[in-house]
């Protein structure tokens, strides 16, 4: 049984997660910062984690987020090595 306020919070939270994952996927797809298959998978993280939550959907989402994050960090490090201005921003 859910709390009474759950439906008020769930809709905006899920909508924000869906919109954010789609925006990230479109950006990664256009800029080719990650392989295209991974950008498409990033867009599918929300439906996978919500719809398949009882069948391990969150495990799939975690793997996709982990790979995406790892590749974005590697790309940022490569960019920092190539440009001294970016190196300061990445390494702090």
Q: Residue 16: what pLDDT?
A: 92
Confidence check: pLDDT of 80 > 80: no
Q: What is the pTM of this model?
A: 0.69
The domain of 29 spans 6-91
48 near 60, Cβ under 8 Å?
yes
Integer Cα distance of 30 and 72 in angstroms:
14
Number of structural domains in the chain: 1
Quick one: tokens of 32? 């080719």
pLDDT at 23: 93
Q: Is 4 exposed, middle or buried (0-12, 13-18, 19+ CB in 10 A)?
A: exposed
User: What is the chain's mean pLDDT, rounded?
Assistant: 82
| pLDDT tens, residue by residue, 7-36 | 889 889 889 988 998 998 999 899 888 889
Position 65 in a domain: yes
Residue 1 belongs to a domain = no
The CA distance from 2 to 70, in Å, is 35
């Amino acid at each position: 049984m859910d709390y009474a306020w759950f439906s008020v919070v769930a809709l905006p939270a899920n909508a924000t997660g869906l919109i954010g994952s789609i925006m990230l996927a479109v950006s990664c797809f256009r800029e080719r910062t990650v392989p295209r298959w991974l950008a498409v998978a990033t867009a599918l993280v929300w439906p996978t984690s919500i719809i398949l939550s009882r069948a391990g959907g969150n495990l799939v989402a975690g793997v996709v987020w982990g790979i995406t994050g790892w590749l974005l960090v590697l790309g940022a490090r490569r960019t920092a090595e190539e440009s001294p201005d970016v190196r300061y921003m990445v390494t702090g």
